[in-house]
Amino acid sequence: MPLEAGADINARGSSSFESYDYEGDTALILCCCYDDKVKVVELLLSRGALLDVLCKSDGRNALLVAARHDNFGIVELLIRAGADTTLRNLNGRNFIDLLKLPWNGECIRDSDLECLNNFVYV
């Protein structure tokens, strides 16, 4: 169901949405896996997507997923939108911990991390 027709932007694990995601991810969380979905993330946020919904299986949220997939632009967008930067997944990792891990063959540079820390804590 399209958003214009009244679809629940924060739906998870119900009816037709369940066939795509059985772990309880929202559309926002799913979009944060892909660095080319910045415009979709912006649209979802503008339509009221909840930032800090946690996935049932591992405690991830949109910010943690974006960090896990090295989607720095989406990380920044979510933080600017008010995402809780103190949340941790069930393994105890926050978004900065996930950015530091070499998931995709490289990890975030110290200069980028310092910039992000200044942005988050100012």
Judge contact between 71 and 40, C-beta under 8 A: no
What distance in Å separates the CA atoms of residue 115 and residue 46, rounded to the nearest whole number? 26
Residue written as token pair 């009221």: 48
- Predicted local confidence at residue 113, as pLDDT: 55
Mean pLDDT of the chain: 76
Q: C-alpha dihedral over 56, 32, 82, 102, to 10 degrees?
A: 90
Mean pLDDT, to the nearest integer, of 33-45? 91
Average pLDDT for residues 22-32, to the nearest whole number? Answer: 81
pLDDT at 27: 85
Domains, the chain, in order of start with CATH, read 3-121 (1.25.40.20)
The pLDDT of residue 104 is above 80: no
Predicted pLDDT of residue 18: 43
- Please give the structure tokens belonging to residue 29: 């969380």
What's the pLDDT tens digit per position in 44-89? 999 888 898 888 778 889 999 999 888 989 999 999 999 999 999 9
